[in-house]
Amino acid sequence: MRYLVTGGAGFVGSHVVLALLDAGHDVVVLDNLSIGYREAVPAGVPFHKVDLLDYAATSAVLAQGTWDGVLHFAALSVVGDSMREPFHYLRQNYLTALNLVQSCVEHGVRKLVFSSTAALFGGPERPDPISETASVLPGSPYGESKFMIERVLHWADEIHGLRSACLRYFNAAGADHQGRAGEDHRPETHLIPLTIDAALGRRPALRLFGTDYPTRDGSCVRDYIHVTDIADAHVRVLDRIGDRSVTYNIGNGQGYSNLEVIQSVERVSGRKVPWEAAPRREGDPPHLVADSTLLRSETGWAPRFADIDSIVETALRWRESHPHGYGV
């Protein structure tokens, strides 16, 4: 099969590219490198430096040959930035996806997999764990932009028969266990790499936002899902999308508190993590855990890196072997 991967130079996209190659597929990457790295795309994979805001350039890539599917990762995805620059986020994520989806329809693409997010579930009445039937009420312009794209895909299916899978990931983490790719966001906002960097003495003490939540140890609980398990879900879901579009939540199903992440990094690295308590961040829910029963039952998927230490271990190995990330 031949797949186009947008955002394939980014964290999740680069791991999905590896999984597709491992499964024997042909892959082409489109990325504007605004966030991702050319070095994250394996040698020999055709690469187009294109901004999805440019419809003509996007369409020109899709015009090159036939595609068995498109996987769309490219986006801006820092929730806090979207609260500061809501219109930029809404415009950027919506218009880039709209261009891509319209171009897919124009060129006869039949399948699209879209990176949606747990940030869709921002309302106060969140069930626990969160299944696909939970009410969507985004708590940020970032989450809202992703929901707008899910609606675009709904109409692309209704009117043009473009089948899609909306995969709502919880917290992607870890790194390729063969060391071929890892996480390098600048600035980094994700807890596991920040905690590892604090343990390695590469940054000052970790700030722990909120220690008085109604959770087992007072810190927030999140669902960390290994990026390779997310990648495996994409490969399985591509086989699954046939006569209908699907939506799946992707999470580990186990919640780990911020303090448990710190303890895991200390266990796995053998080093102390310097940290200090900071006030709660506005809008941070105490507990967010996925119910991925539907994905499991319909595709046979199950996380291979289910416990937090195995996730932290791969992330730690990559950060130790790439002290300056990609490209240095």
Ligand X SMILES: NC(=O)c1ccc[n+]([C@@H]2O[C@H](COP(=O)([O-])OP(=O)(O)OC[C@H]3O[C@@H](n4cnc5c(N)ncnc54)[C@H](O)[C@@H]3O)[C@@H](O)[C@H]2O)c1
Question: Backbone phi, then psi, for 171, in 5-degree steps?
Answer: -90, 105
Residue 246 DSSP SS3: strand
Q: How far apart are CA 98 and CA 118, in angstroms?
A: 21
53 touches ligand X (CB under 6 A): yes
Neighbours of 281 (CB within 10 A): 12
Binding mask 177-206 for ligand X (x = CB under 6 A): --------x---------------------
- Identify which range of 46-54, 126-134, 272-280, 298-306 contacts ligand X by CB under 6 A: 46-54
Please identify which of the residues 37, 89, 94, 142 carries the catalytic annotation. Answer: 142
Residue in the block written with tokens 């895909």: 153
Residue whose C-alpha is closest to residue 76's, from 164, 185, 165, 226: 185
117 touches ligand X (CB under 6 A): yes
99 touches ligand X (CB under 6 A): no
115 touches ligand X (CB under 6 A): yes
Neighbours of 141 (CB within 10 A): 24
**Nearest-approach distance from CB 206 to ligand X, in angstroms:** 18
4 touches ligand X (CB under 6 A): no
Helices and strands, counts by H and E, the chain: 10, 13
Binding mask 262-301 for ligand X (x = CB under 6 A): ----------------------------------------
Under 8 Å between Cβ of 175 and 227: yes
Q: How far apart are CA 52 and CA 100, in angstroms?
A: 7
- Is there a catalytic annotation at residue 169? no
73 touches ligand X (CB under 6 A): yes
150 touches ligand X (CB under 6 A): no
Positions that interact with ligand X (CB under 6 A)? 7, 9-13, 31-36, 51-53, 73-75, 77, 96, 115, 117, 169, 171-172, 185
Active site residues: 142
